[in-house]
């Protein structure tokens, strides 16, 4: 049942080297040589379009420019986007905030989104830069979610066909799917089999086997620390999370650290899950768990190639310190963890 994602993983491993060499020169080459099975019209741009000004890739440019502009003007709760290079609409950096009252609370997960040249007819791909231990995320960070799969007839994939890509899907709908996938992994089509097994053990033991949540919380905590280093304030309460900033970035520089809206209240360290929280239930087999945890974390980072280097931004720290004064406590009235 896992064959779809696993085959894809293998393909990507093979292609990994190509990708890194090609990435510096042109992302055309990578998008056409990798994932997108349905990108037929890529080839058509050279066809009898002498009299035309509209090529498939200008359709894609138009769609992406429109989406990008709209997401800048009306950010959607739970995530932020920016371009990796201002002159390339086909590669975005997205930041997903861990939803409050979930294992991911406080987390700040960065990912790269790469769009094919026949977007929106074919879906983009997403690779997490932040470590994410999740049944549907490969060790190298690639996300395996059905909404990003072109609709191929693949009875082996174990995915429901109703979740496939279609041209009305867009960055919003994708990222909302990603956020909900965080808390509801698809164990029928795991990209990370170990994480999937661990998740199921946690779920089936009604939370008694808490190796999985411990790793997630630890990663969320680490990601939060990194966010702080970058001067980014992660919303910790449902209220802040759902807050829709009205202020638009005024200048181009607004796309940088300031872009991550500073309307969000800054939370203190107290609101974050701490290491004490992790070991609530497993005092008896603490050692064993820790060992497994370490090996798991190690294997995640194996393929991550230093992509999540922190930017240690002095200005950011100042901003964080300044904001700490009006910190509030977390919203305790919220729902419990979604277990």
Shortest CB 234 distance to another protein, Å: 26
Nearest to 186 by CA among 215, 129, 143: 143
Residue 156 found at the interface with another protein (CB under 8 A): no
Inter-residue contact 249 to 72 (CB < 8 Å): yes
Pairing of strands 91-97, 79-83: antiparallel
Which pair of structure tokens corresponds to residue 71?
């997401």
d(CA 338, CA 187): 16
Residue 21 found at the interface with another protein (CB under 8 A): no
Measured in degrees and rounded to the nearest 5, phi and psi for residue 111 equal: -150, 155
Residue of 144, 162, 242, 310 with catalytic role: 144
Taken in order 275, 281, 287, 291, is the CA torsion positive or negative? negative
Sheet holding 91-97, edge to edge: 79-83, 91-97, 108-114, 125-128
144 tagged catalytic: yes
Q: Which stretch binds another protein (CB under 8 A): 55-63, 94-102, 124-132, 251-259?
A: 55-63
Residue with tokens 């009235």: 333
Give the total of residues touching another protein (CB under 8 A): 52
CA 262 to chain CA centroid, nearest Å: 21
User: Which listed residue (24, 51, 251, 298) binds another protein by CB under 8 A?
Assistant: 51
* Complex with another protein: residue 10 or 244, whichever CB lies closer: 10
Shortest CB 190 distance to another protein, Å: 10
Neighbours of 109 (CB within 10 A): 29
Shortest CB 225 distance to another protein, Å: 33
Residue 137 found at the interface with another protein (CB under 8 A): no
* Complex with another protein: residue 44 or 253, whichever CB lies closer: 44
Residue window 63-82: x/- pattern of binding to another protein, with contact defined by CB under 8 A = x--xx--x------------
User: Which listed residue (16, 28, 59, 317) binds another protein by CB under 8 A?
Assistant: 59
* Complex with another protein: residue 42 or 221, whichever CB lies closer: 42
d(CA 49, CA 61): 17
Which pair of structure tokens corresponds to residue 263?
């309307």
Q: Which stretch binds another protein (CB under 8 A): 33-41, 238-246, 295-303, 316-324?
A: 33-41
Nearest to 271 by CA among 293, 310, 241: 241
Inter-residue contact 131 to 298 (CB < 8 Å): no
User: Which listed residue (16, 38, 254, 323) binds another protein by CB under 8 A?
Assistant: 38
Give CA separation, 73 vs 69, 79, 232, 260, in Å.
6, 13, 19, 13
* Complex with another protein: residue 18 or 268, whichever CB lies closer: 18
* Complex with another protein: residue 39 or 130, whichever CB lies closer: 39
d(CA 192, CA 113): 20
* Complex with another protein: residue 176 or 324, whichever CB lies closer: 176
Residue 43 found at the interface with another protein (CB under 8 A): yes
Considering only residues 192 to 231 of the shown chain, the ones binding another protein according to CB under 8 A are 193
User: Which listed residue (40, 208, 281, 310) binds another protein by CB under 8 A?
Assistant: 40
* DSSP state for residue 249 in the 8-state scheme: P
Catalytic amino acids? Answer: 144
Instruction: Tell me which residues touch another protein (CB under 8 A).
Output: 2-3, 6-7, 10-11, 14, 32, 37-49, 51-56, 58-59, 62-63, 66-67, 70, 120-121, 150-151, 160-170, 172-173, 193
């Amino acid at each position: 049942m896992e064959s779809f994602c696993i085959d894809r993983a293998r393909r990507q491993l093979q292609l990994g080297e190509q990708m890194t060499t090609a990435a510096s020169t042109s992302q055309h080459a990578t998008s056409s040589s990798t994932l997108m099975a349905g990108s037929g019209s890529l080839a058509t741009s050279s066809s009898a379009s002498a009299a035309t000004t509209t090529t498939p890739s200008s359709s894609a440019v138009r769609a992406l420019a429109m989406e990008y502009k709209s997401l800048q003007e009306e950010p959607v709760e739970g995530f932020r986007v920016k371009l990796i290079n201002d002159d390339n609409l086909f590669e975005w950096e997205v930041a997903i905030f861990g939803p409050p009252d979930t294992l991911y609370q406080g987390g700040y997960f960065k990912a790269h989104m790469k769009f094919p040249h026949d977007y929106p007819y074919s879906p983009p791909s997403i690779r997490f830069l932040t470590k994410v231990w999740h049944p549907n995320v490969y060790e190298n960070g690639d996300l395996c979610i059905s909404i990003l799969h072109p609709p191929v007839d693949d009875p082996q994939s174990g995915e429901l066909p109703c979740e496939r890509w279609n041209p009305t899907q867009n960055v919003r709908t994708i990222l909302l799917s990603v956020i909900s996938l965080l808390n509801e992994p698809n164990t029928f089509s795991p990209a990370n089999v170990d994480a999937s097994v661990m998740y199921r053990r946690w779920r089936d033991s009604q939370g008694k086997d808490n190796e999985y949540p411990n790793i997630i919380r630890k990663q969320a905590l680490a990601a939060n620390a990194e966010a702080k280093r970058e001067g980014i304030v992660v919303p910790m309460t449902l209220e802040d999370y759902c807050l829709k900033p009205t202020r638009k970035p005024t200048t181009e520089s607004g796309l940088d650290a300031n872009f991550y809206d500073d309307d969000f209240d800054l939370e203190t360290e107290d609101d974050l899950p701490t290491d004490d929280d992790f070991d609530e239930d497993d005092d008896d087999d603490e050692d064993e768990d820790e060992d497994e945890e370490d090996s798991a974390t190690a294997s995640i980072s194996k393929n991550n190639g230093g992509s999540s280097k922190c930017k240690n931004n002095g200005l950011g720290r100042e901003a964080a310190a300044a904001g700490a004064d009006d910190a509030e406590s977390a919203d305790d009235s919220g729902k419990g963890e979604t277990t």
